[in-house]
Amino acid sequence: MGFSSALQSRAAHEALIVRQDAELRLMETMKRSIQMKAKCDKEYAISLTAVAQQGLKIDRADEMQGSLITKSWRSYLDELDQQAKQFKFNAEQLEVVCDKLSHLSQDKRKARKAYQEEHAKIAARLNHLSDEVVRKKTEYQKHLEGYKALRTRFEEHYIKAPSRSGRKLDDVRDKYQKACRKLHLTHNEYVLSITEAIEVEKDFRTVLLPGLLEHQQSVQESFILLWRNILQEAAQYGDLTADKYKEIQKRIDTVIGGINPTEEYGEFTEKHKTSPTSPMLFQFDETLIEDIPGKLQSSTLTVDNLTVDWLRNRLQELESAVKDCQEKQLKMIEHVNGGSPVANGSIISNGSNTSNGIQSNKDSQCRQSKDLNALRCQEKQKQKLVDMIKCALNEVGCEELPSGCDDHLTLEQTFIENGYNNEQQRSNSTSSPGLGIMNELMRRGGVLTLLRGRGRHFKRKSTPQPTTPTTRCRQGRFNKLQPRSQSLGSLSISLSTNRPLYEEEWFHGVLPREEVVRLLNNDGDFLVRETIRNEESQIVLSVCWNGHKHFIVQTTGEGNFRFEGPPFASIQELIMHQYHSELPVTVKSGAILRRPVCRERWELSNDDVVLLERIGRGNFGDVYKAKLKSTKLDVAVKTCRMTLPDEQKRKFLQEGRILKQYDHPNIVKLIGICVQKQPIMIVMELVLGGSLLTYLRKNSNGLSNRQQMGMCRDAAAGMRYLESKNCIHRDLAARNCLVDLEHSVKISDFGMSREEEEYIVSDGMKQIPVKWTAPEALNFGKYTSLCDVWSYGILMWEIFSKGDTPYSGMSNSRARERIDTGYRMPTPENTPAEMYRLMLKCWAADAESRPHFDEIYNVVDALILRLDNSH
């Protein structure tokens, strides 16, 4: 049953129109879905390419020379890259499918319109004739009534007239004859109209409407066929079981299957083949006890009243550890041999397979044998220590142990009561408790006593030691650590000071840990800083000692300050005590303070800066016009909101760390960084002209080509300088450049900059200025100075368009798609042809084809010189 016979009614016609509308809506839905799939596939292809690129970054690949697994890995990543290209190709084909679906939708709309118009046309004629028949019938009835009335009147006059003549009778006869003629004419018209309507209705019902419906059915079915083909094509480009993917997977399986464990290390072993290692010699350093009288002997345990309890406890721990090792060995042997005992301790396989599905039974047995050997070694090592301690205890053989104190070394009871008796609990297990501190004090070269009372430090009872070049150097370096009224000729100095902590030059305020680490380079370097932990301010001592160590200053209940030693009334006194006594900050760390690191010249005090008025807002906080108290110089100050997390504060200070080493007229100058207290501030030169973007828009009518080219040259000069310093700006744009009162452009806003020749983004692509960023950076997260060249081309376009928005009217994603297909923005009005050609060179798809900033500067400079000479 087809359209021609089944859909002739008006209701069926309207239902067909509704169905076509529904099909058009379905097409639109399909098109949007396929577009989304194409976009997802493109993004996946980009991510897959980034994965392959990241995987190929094998550090020190020369060390993996000859490795089969490295070769397989590289081949595997190459195939991943092929997969990415296939996904990208399929995504592009899906976009073609979307275009086909769009065309099909347009054609279907046209076909629906043509059908409606044709149906309305043939139906209109039938309706017109139907209306005509009704009208003729109405006329027929009207003339028939008139005819009857005139005929009756004529008959009445004719009968009454005596002579069958007369003027009145003639008049009645004429009217009657006219009525009769009109009736007959109307009769004929009515008959003809009925006859025509019958024929038209018959043709409409049997020829025209069936023909139209039959044609419409053919058109609809043709659309369904095309629609099906489009869907098949879309499915084809989303088929992950396609032969191309199977071939890629087959190649991956082949390269991975080619890994042979027995051949993997052949080349490596041959290259690094050496003789068996010689035994390492461990022996007691007898110089440690040369100046210590008493019973300490090299390589011999000392048993006395200070050590016996510790030795006995240590013996118990070791005996327990030996027993534990023995039990673990027994369990392992029973597990391997199915519970049967092993006479000689060897592993006897019972054929059971303990493989986890990845290792073979042989591998599992090798691993168990290795673990068993390790346990035996541990047992033997600990048993050796057990025997040594037992031997030492047996040699004493009496309850009254010899004294562990040297007669000439005396300590006041307060020394022990104030916390140093706890050294026994904190000392390392390899040293004798109680002696650790005394030996340390003896090594310092004098008898120390702890003066009673809060806030005091150790003094030597002996006469002051002669000042050596070393001590003179130490005292000179520490000059800034003490009040200015103190004398450094002796260690016994007054510790009273009224200066606040933030005035000490070795106090670096809230400088982040990453910045602190940069300043501490040699063992003994130290500084003091402030940190915020759990919304609470804490003072931290940072020391370089076998790495970098950070000690939080502890506060006592009485409001004093300490580490592991005695408390002091101020942090300055505590730090000076640690420095002059040369005692470790903590026993565990062993860190000794040797050289205070003072603030760098660019570390300003917050109180040196007076904020005047807010002139803008940045990513991290407000920007102010300010004045330096010392020089009365007007400056610009970027502030960092106190509520930002530490990670954001580190990023904020990154701009200052980069700028502090640069000096160029086209780079905004750093004056200093304020980190003594919150808020953190970056102080820079005040560039009165403000943002280049704002300047371009405000002065759009007054800018000449010469001025615009000068701006381009300034920017190129600044970027040439940065390129020479291996600095990648990553956010070059008119909004991030400043203009001074002499119309000179300065590069600013280094918040996203990196000081390296190549930088790979690993924290995602958030906050990326898409319309200013090079395609390779967007697609692969790879930044080089040539990415800044692309951005410079956009900056040139902004300058010559006088502040217009790049890719106006396009979303970021649309602009990115157009760029990938080769689109480049047209030249702004009145732009010199040479400058536009330079823009296009900056926008080369291949980064290596772009000019470097040195070449860009020379080109722009030559064009300006030629322009000046022509005038």
Mind giving me the DSSP string for 125-182? HHHHHHHHHHHHHHHHHHHHHHHHHHHHHHHHHHHH-SSS--HHHHHHHHHHHHHHHH
The region that residue 855 occupies, defined by phi over 0 for left and psi between -120 and 50 for alpha, beta otherwise, is: alpha
Q: Count CB atoms within 10 A of the CB of residue 688.
A: 13
Cis peptide before 679 (omega within 30 of 0): yes
Tokens coding 180: 């009769």
Order of strands, sheet of 536-544, starting from the edge strand that comes earlier in the sequence = 548-552, 536-544, 525-533, 595-596
Residues with a catalytic annotation lie at 731
Strand partners, 548: 544
Tokens coding 2: 């087809």
Residue 729: DSSP 8-state:
-
Give the end-to-end CA distance of the chain in Å, rounded to a whole number: 86
| Strand, helix or coil for residue 384 | helix
CA pair distance 263, 66, nearest whole angstrom: 9
Element (H, E) at 603: strand 603-604
Secondary structure, 3-state, 57-117? CCCCHHHHCCCHHHHHHHHHHHHHHHHHHHHHHHHHHHHHHHHHHHHHHHHHHHHHHHHHH
CA pair distance 586, 566, nearest whole angstrom: 12
77 close to 54: Cβ distance less than 8 angstroms: no
CA pair distance 811, 320, nearest whole angstrom: 71
CA pair distance 593, 586, nearest whole angstrom: 11
CA pair distance 309, 303, nearest whole angstrom: 9
Strand partners, 518: none
> Is residue 638 part of an annotated ligand binding site?
yes
Q: Which stretches of 637-753 are DSSP H helices?
A: 646-659, 692-698, 705-724
Tokens 């327990």 identify what position? 320
Q: What's the one-letter identity of residue 456?
A: R
Tokens coding 285: 């350093």
179 close to 150: Cβ distance less than 8 angstroms: yes
Give helix 853-870 / helix 785-800 axis angle, nearest 10°.
30
Strand partners, 782: 760
Paired sense of beta strands 622-628 and 670-674, if any: unpaired
Give helix 68-160 / helix 209-236 axis angle, nearest 10°.
170
Going from the C-alpha of 200 to that of each of 81, 132, 838, 849, the distances in angstroms are 70, 12, 74, 75
Tokens 């083909």 identify what position? 229
CA pair distance 84, 201, nearest whole angstrom: 64
Residues 487, 493, 498, CA angle at the centre, nearest 5°?
85
Backbone angles phi, psi at 533, to 5 degrees: -125, 125
| Strand, helix or coil for residue 612 | strand
Strand partners, 532: 537
Paired sense of beta strands 758-760 and 782-784, if any: antiparallel
The set of residues, in sequence order, having a beta carbon less than 8 Å from that of 8 and lying 6+ positions away, is: 205, 209, 210, 213
Binding residues: 638
Binding residues for ATP: 638
